[in-house]
């Protein structure tokens, strides 16, 4: 749809692929886990994207969410196998990993790109927000994490950059395992 919001309020399992495109907003209900196969999941919206449910792929399926507004994860996103996860805001909006949400892949690449900041409300060393044996890219116009709520990572390779468009545009990450 190009004119209406899209809300997934029912569980969806055994899907081979899921593609969502809207000029407006996208959301999932907490009671509606989504399970997608090797075709992966792709969401592109002009407004906000909010996931309140668990999203998983099997057979190395990837997950891509691109949002013109804020992108908020309140549920886990897991791309199993070598599946990649890409989260991006194209506008001046945050990517927020809230309430213990974890983004993971067994060996695929993770990237979080924000037109504003990449944030969590979970205290440092409480939840590993981003986990893969592959690579992790964090790219924000402003801050990545804050002092008390660092982005906890467990990744084979981590690259983080802040464009520093505002005072206090710092990078606060905590690699919980590895170098």
User: Considering the entire predicted model, what is its pTM?
Assistant: 0.95
Structural tokens at position 163: 């464009």
CA distance 39 to 10: 20
Structural tokens at position 96: 């927020």
CA distance 156 to 162: 20
Q: What is the mean pLDDT of residues 125-143?
A: 97
Question: Which tens digits make up the pLDDT trace of 48-99?
Answer: 999 999 999 999 999 999 999 999 999 999 999 999 999 999 999 999 999 9
Residue identified by tokens 């990993």 is 97
Residue identified by tokens 């209900």 is 29
CA distance 112 to 64: 10
User: Could you tell me which residues come within 8 angstroms of residue 147 by beta carbon, excluding any fewer than 6 positions away?
Assistant: 172
CA distance 55 to 44: 16
Question: Which tens digits make up the pLDDT trace of 92-130?
Answer: 999 999 999 999 999 999 999 999 999 999 999 999 999
Count of other CB atoms within 10 angstroms of residue 116? 19
CA distance 29 to 27: 7
């Amino acid at each position: 749809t190009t004119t209406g919001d899209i809300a997934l309020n029912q569980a969806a399992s055994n899907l081979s692929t899921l593609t969502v495109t809207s000029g407006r907003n996208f959301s999932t209900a907490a009671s509606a886990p989504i399970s997608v196969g090797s075709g992966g999941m792709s969401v592109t919206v002009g407004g906000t994207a909010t996931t309140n449910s668990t999203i998983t792929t099997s057979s190395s399926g990837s997950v891509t969410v691109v949002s013109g507004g804020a992108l908020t994860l309140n549920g886990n996103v897991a791309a199993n196998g070598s599946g990649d996860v890409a989260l991006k805001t194209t506008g001046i909006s945050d990517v927020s990993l809230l309430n213990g949400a974890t983004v993971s892949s067994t060996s695929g690449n993770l990237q979080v790109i924000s037109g504003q900041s990449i944030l969590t409300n979970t205290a440092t060393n409480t939840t590993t927000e981003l986990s893969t044996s592959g690579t992790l890219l964090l790219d924000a116009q402003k801050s990545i994490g804050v002092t008390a709520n660092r982005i906890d990572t467990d990744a084979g390779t981590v690259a983080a950059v802040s464009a520093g468009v505002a005072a206090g545009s710092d990078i606060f990450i905590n690699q919980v395992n590895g170098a």
